[in-house]
Structure 1
Amino acid sequence: MKKPFLLIFFFLITVMQVVGQQHFDKAAIKSIMKRVADWQIANPNKGAEHDDLDWTHATLYMGMLDWAELTEKEDGDDSYYQWLLRIGRRNHFQVGKWMYHADFIAVGQPFIDLYNKYGNKKMIAPVMARANWIIENPAETTLELDYGKLETLDRWSWCDALFMAPPVYAKLYALTKDKKYLDFLNKEYKATYDYLYDKEEHLFYRDRRYFAKREANGKKVFWGRGNGWVLGGLAEILQVLPRNEPSRAFYQDLFVTLATRVVGLQSPDGYWHASLLDPASYPSPETSATGFIVYAFAYGVNEGLLDKKTFMPVIEKGWQALVDAVEPTGKLGYVQPIGADPRKVTRDMTEVYGVGAFLLSGCQIYNQLSNHEK
């Protein structure tokens, strides 16, 4: 009786390995990215926090930009660039309404990238004007976030903000070589780091409201997507800061330290769950956290910042998990809704920022496989 059981067991293991290899294949990666991107374009999100210039869509555009670059380079297909340009033009490449709030300047990131490609100053003028005004009129509030006092959102007082705003200033510095952008970036980023980074756990609190909170298992509350936001933002900063820029060392060291901490928090199912230190309380998959983390890890390996032997198995397992969350239609599921803390997630939940993270991670993995072929 044992022999047939063992044969079935080894057959299933082989099938699982083959499926995993297929998912980590250039053609398969490109195919599923196209399916996900096309589904999202055909099924736009609407309503609160989903206008063209909101942070949710800014994150989607960043993933779409990497995807647009890949498809134009390999297939001569500029349709995704044209989709992005239509959005920019109908909004006159403006940024969001609030002058200081990080979420409302996030859309400046893809607009700067479009300017770098097309050279039309209309694409960069609004975000540069906003950044210049903020630098010349810095917010004078504390980092003690309080939603009853909206002015406490004027600075980067929550960890998500480290994905939204800092790369804008890094990109403007890379573009203009004007030190005012770099000086502002360094000052404000380090202030947030000093306030929200737990130097014992090597993780970021979402905001000051979570300093004393504990999960059901007694652990501190560290949000999966929140730390994914930080890792993704660091990857964006490192891609544009010159290698000989002295202040780059801070961001690079933080990136490596945070990645080294987070890599050990992947769950057996391949996902990083909503709560990093109490995944059992939030057992459902969570693709937005996983997408940002896989993106950052793949970038780090591609750049030689992270150890390939340590991180590649984790990247492969994470990508497999992301692929498993995609419906045949291309809809990406298990995306935690807009929020500030760990919450339960279901397969039918999707969000544009999850799609952005999926495309960012897929493009980095695809580039890695392309470079390996050379």
Structure 2
Amino acid sequence: MNKTILTLLAVVLLFNCSTAQKVAETQAIDKAQVKASMIKALEWQEAHPIIAIAPTDWTNGAYYTGVARAHKTTKDMMYMAALKNQGYWNKWQTFSRLHHADDVAISYSYLYIDMTDSRRNFVDLEPTKKFLDAHLYEDDIWKRGTRKNEMGQTILWWWCDALFMAPPVLNLYAKHTKQPKYLDEMHKFYMQTYNQLYDEEEQLFARDMRYVWKGSDKDKKEANGKKIFWSRGNGWVFGGLALILDDMPQDYKHRPFYEKLYKELAAKMLEIQPEDGLWRTSLLCPESYNHGEVSGSGFHTFALAWGINNGLLAKKHIPAVKKAWNALAGCQHEDGRVGWVQNIGASPEPASKDSWQNFGTGAFLMAGSEILKLN
């Protein structure tokens, strides 16, 4: 291949990560390259911090969950250094809204450090305990159902993203402290969200009640007549579900519900996976923004690979997961930045080669952490 052709190929790869996938989808996964790509993503993200609300907000919670999962697989101390550094400077605090699931997502990383580091008393888990006790047991207008929040909801976790933010933390806290009552409370509130937002016909989650379709809601459908299902919203649920199952006791009485839900979401994601490997921001109307998107796809890839690695998903699906990872890798810039990430939102919107967010990097790291375990 001459120099001119190589140059043209490089331009194509930079233009669109989905196009890059078409070149790479048949390639075997080089695990040394996966590790190198993950470290580059970490280094770039640590050098380019982004704060949506505060250093302890949900975006950093999702990012450092990815860092924790990367360390769990690779044991590379660069990940642990990043985890300890952010926890120390955060003084192990959550964010301030005690009845908002987003604001405890950062505690997943604190719990992971405490469970992994041999030095006791390095992590202060008291702020996490304070949050969880208030979140679960303190009286609150949404729990009482006496007032509606801004989305017209009277349940605690009224948006599907919440199923990534709080449940894995509660589950891990219950495991770490040997207090199953937190797991039981998690299940109670999880079921409220499931009952309101899960569409049994499509086997996908509406983002919130604004997208729960009824026969008269003609304005709640996509241009192609399909219901609106957001990729990252379902990625939050699917990725969070894999995290929950990873730490949930095998004999927990409600575990069969979570395994069944996992298998339903996995089957749906495999069914609708685009040919180039990356899911579009609108799952059932991919033509709305016909390009791959990394944050949702990263969470889907993580969850699917986790299922294969843990026996909940057949190994025949490895090619689909490899295809997804190769496409994700094609979205990473040479300097380590992970592009094609939809901005903060609550519905399907476009992304671009240069759009990035820390939670997109977190999803990329989560995906890589399970790809490395594939046989």
Q: Same fold (TM over 0.5)?
A: yes
- Which aligned pairs between 1:116-127 and structure 2 lie closer than 5 A? 116-118=115-117, 119-120=120-121, 122-127=123-128
The 2-side partners of 1:80 and 1:133 are apart by 31
Confirm whether residue 327 of structure 1 aligns to residue 326 of structure 2.
no
Shift of 1:137: 1.2
Q: Which residue of 2 aligns with 1:13?
A: none
Structure with larger RCO (C-alpha < 8 A, sep 6+): 2
1:279 aligned residue: 286
* C-alpha RMSD over aligned residues: 2.2
CA distance in structure 2 between the aligned counterparts of 1:318 and 1:123, rounded to whole angstroms: 38
Q: Secondary structure at the match of 1:272?
A: coil
What secondary structure, in the 3-state scheme, does the structure 2 residue paired with 1:288 have?
A: helix
Mapped to 2, the partners of 1:268 and 1:138 lie a distance apart of 48
The Cα shift of 1:136 comes to 2.2
Q: Given the superposition, is the C-alpha separation of residues 148 and 319 from structure 1 closer, same or farther in structure 2, using an over 3 Å criterion?
A: closer
The SS at the match of 2:373 is: helix
Partner of 1:187: 188
Look up the match of 2:178. 177
Give the C-alpha shift of residue 154 in structure 1. Answer: 7.1
Q: Quick one: distance in 2 between partners of 1:141 and 1:349?
A: 35
Map of 1:88-127 to 2, 5 A cutoff? 88-118=87-117, 119-120=120-121, 122-127=123-128
Structure 1 letter corresponding to 2:197: L
Q: Do 1:166 and 1:189's aligned partners in 2 also have CA atoms closer than 8 Å?
A: yes
CA–CA distance in 2 between the matches of 1:350 and 1:246?
Answer: 40
Specify which of 224, 227, 237 is matched with residue 220 of structure 1.
227
TM-score by length of structure 2 reads: 0.87
Contact persistence 1:139–1:154 (CA under 8 A): no
Amino acid at match of 2:115: N
Q: Which residue of 1 aligns with 2:44?
A: 39
**Cα distance in structure 2, aligned partners of 1:267 and 1:300:** 20
Distance (Å, rounded) in 2 between the aligned partners of 1:312 and 1:246: 30
Q: Map 1:1-374; keep pairs closer than 5 Å.
A: 19-20=24-25, 24-46=29-51, 48-49=52-53, 51-72=54-75, 77-118=76-117, 119-120=120-121, 122-141=123-142, 146-147=149-150, 152=153, 155-212=156-213, 213-309=220-316, 311-368=317-374, 372=375
Give the secondary structure class of the aligned counterpart of 1:59: helix
* Cα distance in 2, alignment partners of residues 69 and 173 from structure 1: 19
> SS of the counterpart of 1:230?
helix
- Asked whether the 8 Å contact 1:145–1:207 carries over to 2, the reply is no
SS of the residue 1:159 aligns to: coil
Decide whether the 8 Å contact of 2:142 with 2:149 is kept in 1.
no
Cα shift readout 1:232-258 (whole Å, capped 9, x = no counterpart): 110110011110111111111111111
In structure 2, distance between residues paired with 1:64 and 1:291 = 14
TM-score (norm: length of structure 1): 0.87
Whole-angstrom CA distance in 1 between matches of 2:86 and 2:22: 41
Deviations 1:284-307 (A, max 9, x none): 220001000000000000000011
Superposition deviation, residue 31 in structure 1? 1.3
Q: In percent, how many aligned pairs have the same letter? A: 39
- Indicate if the aligned counterparts of 1:145 and 1:158 stay in contact, CA closer than 8 A: no
Distance 2:221 2:23 in 1: 41
Structure 2: tracts of 5 or more residues without a match: 1-20, 214-219
Which residue identity does 1:258 align to in structure 2? L
8 A Cα contact 2:155 2:193, kept in partner = no
**Structure 1 unaligned runs (5+)?**
1-15
Q: Quote the offset at 1:52 in angstroms.
A: 1.4
Aligned to 2:4: none
Code of the aligned partner of 1:283? N
